[in-house]
Structure 1
Amino acid sequence: MLPRIIFCTAVSLAILVVILLSLFSPVAHRNPSKNPTRPWLALSLYIQQPQIATSNPQAPPVSPSDAGAFIFHHTLTEGPENTSRVVGKAQGFIIPIEHFAHSAFNIIYLTFDTPEYSGSLSVQAKHVGHKDTEELTVVGGTGSFAFARGLAVFAETDRKPSDVDATYHVNLQLRFPNRSQTIPG
């Protein structure tokens, strides 16, 4: 009879410990906004055209359809004004020629350098249709954006008649893999 009492007491204590751990565990009460392994992230940014003084203001700009490749280096800002806080760079290499239009070389790199985010995102520009709004695919990232996937929506902002080049609004919807899993090795 004594072994049966000891067994029942041990089972009761084990059940009580499991219940108490589930109630008082710090993991169960973690604030999700402070969780660095969040599965989704939404960002809203602006791509600003560089402010370059030209020595020959009469020279006509080359249109993308006449160029062999479109290479750009712009700044990323928090707001639509070119005086907004700079958060990074937007760089890319796009070949608009028809047989290269779906090339893997057509990538836009968004690089971030802020206290909140440090790293880069690779946005695939395979299906650019020269529309006011383009939905492109985020195919990877580094640093704060390691292994990111998702959607990047580029939209041309309202242009003023005095603007030579447009500013683009970029909405990023990013998802991350489950970072709690470890890679065996």
Structure 2
Amino acid sequence: MAKFINLILAAQILLLAITVASAGKNGEDFARKVNRKHLGLGEKEKLTHLRVYWHDIVSGRHPSSIMIQRPVPDYSSSSFFGSVTMIDNALTSDVPINSTLVGQAQGMYAGADQKELGFLMAMTFAFKTGEYNGSSITILGRNVVMSDVREMPVVGGSGMFRFARGYVEARTKEFDRKTGDATVEYNCYVLHY
């Protein structure tokens, strides 16, 4: 009798395995609902405001921004159209570059406007201090440098900023015409869980 019950159980397990294995063969298994709690997501989103100062250093022996693609010759004097600059810029808590380092802005900006000084910004703010240490937000958008205030979207994040969305406002605080170095205030408004 015990052998018969074991045989029935084995047959049921085999039938279940075949059913599970064939369930998604029509391409229906590529998506599924996930319990938010399994990802550590609360029910309500938080809104966080971060103010950091972005230091774009293009001069000196150790620049934090390096142009890796020169502008298209016809546009080089006015808009930098076609240029690509890689960055690893310091993010500080105040305007002076020697104020508290809170993170790094890593990514690139590219001259994307033929008529005015306008860049496509693609960068991640990687935070290195306090409760946001190890977390990041990603910014992707248009930056018309000569405007007083530029708004760009926050398109994602990691760590405490998983599923982030929002926007940043950029305001130039200092610009050295001789060296090209700049300090920009970024006010970041981030919705996250």
Alignment TM-score, normalising by the size of structure 1: 0.59
Say which of 38, 46, 63 aligns to 1:39: 46
Say which of 152, 156, 172 aligns to 1:156: 172
Tell me what 2:183 maps to: 167
Looking at structure 2, the residues matched to 159 and 98 of structure 1 have their Cα atoms a distance apart, in angstroms, of 20
Residues 163/70 of structure 1: CA separation in 2 closer, same or farther (3 Å cut): closer
SS across alignment from 1:116: helix
Following TM superposition, by how much is the alpha carbon of 1:54 offset from its aligned partner in structure 2, in angstroms?
Answer: 3.6
Tell me what 1:107 maps to: 122
| Percent identity of equivalent pairs | 24
Say which of 41, 53, 64 aligns to 2:60: 53
The count of corresponding residues between Structure 1 and Structure 2 is 131
1:108-160 C-alpha deviation (Å, 9 max, x unpaired): 211101121021111012x3223232100001000011111111011100446
Residues 163/52 of structure 1: CA separation in 2 closer, same or farther (3 Å cut): closer
Q: Is the 8 A contact 1:50 1:75 kept in 2?
A: no
Tell me what 2:104 maps to: 89
Tell me what 2:27 maps to: none
Tell me what 1:147 maps to: 163
1:85-127 C-alpha deviation (Å, 9 max, x unpaired): 101101222332459xxxxx841211101121021111012x3
Looking at structure 2, the residues matched to 124 and 40 of structure 1 have their Cα atoms a distance apart, in angstroms, of 19
Q: Name the amino acid aligned to 2:101.
A: V
* Structure 1: runs of 5+ lacking an equivalent: 1-34, 56-60, 100-104, 180-185
Q: Cα RMSD between the aligned structures?
A: 3.1
* Structure 2: runs of 5+ lacking an equivalent: 1-41, 63-69, 115-119
Looking at structure 1, the residues matched to 94 and 191 of structure 2 have their Cα atoms a distance apart, in angstroms, of 23
Tell me what 1:129 maps to: 144
More strand by share: 2
Following TM superposition, by how much is the alpha carbon of 1:73 offset from its aligned partner in structure 2, in angstroms?
Answer: 1.6
Alignment TM-score, normalising by the size of structure 2: 0.57
SS across alignment from 2:83: coil
Following TM superposition, by how much is the alpha carbon of 1:161 offset from its aligned partner in structure 2, in angstroms?
Answer: 7.1
Looking at structure 2, the residues matched to 51 and 94 of structure 1 have their Cα atoms a distance apart, in angstroms, of 13
Residues 41/66 of structure 1: CA separation in 2 closer, same or farther (3 Å cut): closer
Looking at structure 2, the residues matched to 49 and 78 of structure 1 have their Cα atoms a distance apart, in angstroms, of 15
Looking at structure 1, the residues matched to 182 and 58 of structure 2 have their Cα atoms a distance apart, in angstroms, of 12
SS across alignment from 1:144: helix
